[in-house]
Amino acid sequence: MTKRPAKLARKDAQHSLEYVILITLIMAGVILGAPYVIRSWNAQIKGWEDSVRDSMTDPLEESPDVLPSIVSCSPDPWAAVGCAMNATDSAGITWNCSATQFLQTRTYTPLNCELGIIPTPDPNTVQCLTHTCCCTAPQPTGFCGAQDNTLAGAAVDPCAGPVFDQPLNADNTCPDGTMKSWVLCGDDVDPADRRHGCMNDAACVFTCQVPAGGAPPNTLPAYGALCAGDDTRLWGNTDYTYVNAGAGNCTAATKCKIQCNPTFVPTGASCACPLGYTQYATICCPPGQTESAGVCVCAAGFAKACPDGFGGYIAGQCYQGSSCGANACEQ
C-alpha cells in the first residue's frame, strides 16, 4: 500500500519557492534600478554643489544708499548766545565753549524733527566758533600806572565789550591806581598777540608820605603847596621832599615836592628858617629884624637899606645905627 506525503509538506515547499522568486525579483529590481538611484542622488548632490559655488562667486547686489529723510524738516537760523557759554544739543551732547569761542544754537522746524534724521547732522543744534569778540579774563603784568610804557598790543575789538576797566594812556602807560593787564581774543597766540589794558587795583594806589621830621603841604608856617601834579603818576609810595618856593623848583623828575613858604628854606626832610634867622608866627627874619604885621622890619636901633657907597642900597639888611634917617627902614 502506497503512502501519500502529508499535505502540510507540499505547502511548505510552495512557500519556499515563492520566497525565492520574490527575493530574486527584488534583487533583480535593485540591480536594474541601482544606476538610476545613484544617478539621481549624484544629480541632487551636484545641484547642491553648484548652488554653493554660485553663492561664493556671484557678486552681491547692494541696495541704493538712500537715507530716509523728513521732507519738511529744516534748520532755523543760528542764534547767538555768548562767549564761554555751554549748551546741550538735541543728541544729548554738552558743548562747552572756551573763553575765546562764541556759542550759537538753533532749532529745527517742526521742533525736534531733526531727531528723525539718520544720521543726525553734526553739528545739529549747537556749535562753538572761535571769535574775535570773545576774550580771556584779564591777567596782570605786575606793572602799575606809569611803571611801563612798552607793552601795548592790538586794541580789543569793540564787540567784546568793556574787557578792561580803563584803556591805556596815549603813552602806553596806565592811569594811576590801575594795573596793566592783558587778554587773548579769538585766535590770538600767546604771548605774541597779547592785548593790553588797565584794571583797577588797590595794590597800585600810591600816595605821598610824610617823612620823619617833615610835614604835609600847606602846614603853616613853613610848608607851602605841593608842586602841581606831584601826587600823580607815582611809581610807588613816595616821601615828601622840600624845595624853595617858586615854580622853577618843581621838576617832573621828582615827585611829592613841597615848596617851602617864603623866607623858609629846605633843610633835609623839612622846611626851616635859614641859619641865624629868627622864626616868628609866619616868617623868618634875618638878624637885626623883627616881625611886624606879618613882615620883617628893622629892630630898634637898626636901619634898613642904607646906601652902599656906590649910589645904591644894600637891600634887605638892617644895620645898627640910624644914619639913613627916620624913614630908613621903609626904603
Per-residue pLDDT band for 118 (boundaries 50, 70, 90) equals low
In this structure, is residue 65 part of a structural domain? no
In this structure, is residue 41 part of a structural domain? no
Asked which of 15-29, 159-173, 177-191 is least confident by mean pLDDT, the reply is 15-29
In this structure, is residue 222 part of a structural domain? yes
In angstroms, the CA 34 to CA 31 distance is 5
Per-residue pLDDT band for 122 (boundaries 50, 70, 90) equals low
In this structure, is residue 107 part of a structural domain? yes
DSSP annotation of 45 reads H
In angstroms, the CA 186 to CA 190 distance is 11
Which range in 5-9, 137-141, 280-284 is most confidently predicted, on average pLDDT? Answer: 137-141
| Burial zone of 68 (CB within 10 Å; 0-12 exposed, 13-18 middle, 19+ buried) | exposed
DSSP annotation of 215 reads -
Better-scored residue on pLDDT, 99 or 122 = 99
Of 203, 195, 138, give the one whose Cα is nearest residue 172: 195
Boundary of a domain, candidates 226, 241, 272: 272
In angstroms, the CA 58 to CA 63 distance is 16
| Burial zone of 106 (CB within 10 Å; 0-12 exposed, 13-18 middle, 19+ buried) | middle
In this structure, is residue 95 part of a structural domain? yes
Total-model pTM = 0.62
In angstroms, the CA 259 to CA 30 distance is 145
State which residues form the domain around 314.
278-330
pLDDT digits 0-9 by tens, 223-258: 999 999 999 999 999 999 999 988 788 988 889 999
In angstroms, the CA 22 to CA 12 distance is 15
In this structure, is residue 163 part of a structural domain? yes
Q: What is the mean pLDDT of the chain?
A: 83
Of 326, 309, 325, 306, give the one whose Cα is nearest residue 317: 306
Asked which of 12-16, 18-22, 271-275 is least confident by mean pLDDT, the reply is 12-16
What are the beta bridge partners of residue 257?
241
Domain co-membership, 196 together with 210: no
What are the beta bridge partners of residue 97?
none
Domain co-membership, 188 together with 223: no
Boundary of a domain, candidates 158, 182, 204: 204
Q: What is the pLDDT of residue 325?
A: 44
Better-scored residue on pLDDT, 27 or 15 = 27
Report residue 37 as a C-alpha cell: 538611484
Residue 172 has pLDDT above 70, yes or no: yes
Report residue 57 as a C-alpha cell: 562667486
In this structure, is residue 58 part of a structural domain? no
Task: Give the alpha-carbon dihedral of 6, 8, 9, 10, to 10 degrees.
Answer: 100
In this structure, is residue 257 part of a structural domain? yes
Do 159 and 132 touch, CB atoms closer than 8 A? yes
Q: Per the structure, how many domains does the chain have?
A: 4
Report residue 231 as a C-alpha cell: 601826587
Boundary of a domain, candidates 223, 246, 272: 272
Domain co-membership, 152 together with 185: yes
- Cα–Cα distances (Å) from 231 to 38, 88, 219, 241, in that order, read 122, 54, 17, 12
Do 239 and 210 touch, CB atoms closer than 8 A? yes
Domain co-membership, 265 together with 292: no
Domain co-membership, 221 together with 260: yes
Report the chain's C-alpha Rg in angstroms: 58
Do 100 and 187 touch, CB atoms closer than 8 A? yes
Q: What is the pLDDT of residue 133?
A: 94
Per-residue pLDDT band for 104 (boundaries 50, 70, 90) equals very high
Of 179, 153, 155, 152, give the one whose Cα is nearest residue 165: 179
In angstroms, the CA 181 to CA 200 distance is 10
The DSSP H or E segment spanning 260 is strand 257-260
